[in-house]
Amino acid sequence: MSNVVTCQRQGAETLITLEPNRSATRRQTLLFLLLVSGVTLSVALFWTFFGAWMVLPFAGLEIAVLTYVALRVSRSTYRMQVIRVGAEAVEVEEGEFYPVRKWRFPRPDTHVNVLAAATPMDAIGLQLQDGRQSLEVGSFLNQGDRLKARDALQASGLMLCNERWWHSR
């Protein structure tokens, strides 16, 4: 597992990288799928041998759905947001494996809006705003990592605005 929130200074710029927690690698996911598929097919073939051939299509469907879901979840763990805070602008790049979307906010107008959690089980929300556009950052992070992201954004010099200003943090 790598750090999910990193903050680096590069001259006058601050580079903040946000990644989801990747608890299983691509290889581990494939090994899990092979193991479950092998057991499922073994059981299905056993019952087919004794005349219950209707088990086979359902076993195949189970393997197909599990494979689809596991690979989609695995792919989503490679999602990343890179926030570059410079003197003139705040740039955000987002994508899986490589940048797909890019946003640019003028630095003087940009602030971080911290949205309080609705319940104790929810995580705070983080939005970059400049009065004309708003972008949620770190939506794939858990509560602890969102707090680290909030602190990194504040350390980069961006102003934090709390919707519940009467609470200190």
Q: Is residue 168 part of a domain?
A: no
Has this prediction a pTM greater than 0.85? Answer: no
Residues 13 and 88 in one domain: yes
Mean pLDDT, the chain, integer: 89
Residues 102 and 143 in one domain: yes
3-state helix, strand, coil in the chain (%, to 5): 35, 30, 35
Residues 116 and 61 in one domain: no
- Give the per-residue pLDDT at 2: 57
Question: Which of residues 159 and 4 earns the better pLDDT score?
Answer: 159
pLDDT tier at 1 (50, 70, 90 boundaries)? Answer: very low
Residues 71 and 83 in one domain: no
Residues 113 and 163 sit within 8 Å (Cβ to Cβ): yes
Residues 67 and 82 in one domain: no
- Give the per-residue pLDDT at 27: 93
- Give the per-residue pLDDT at 22: 82
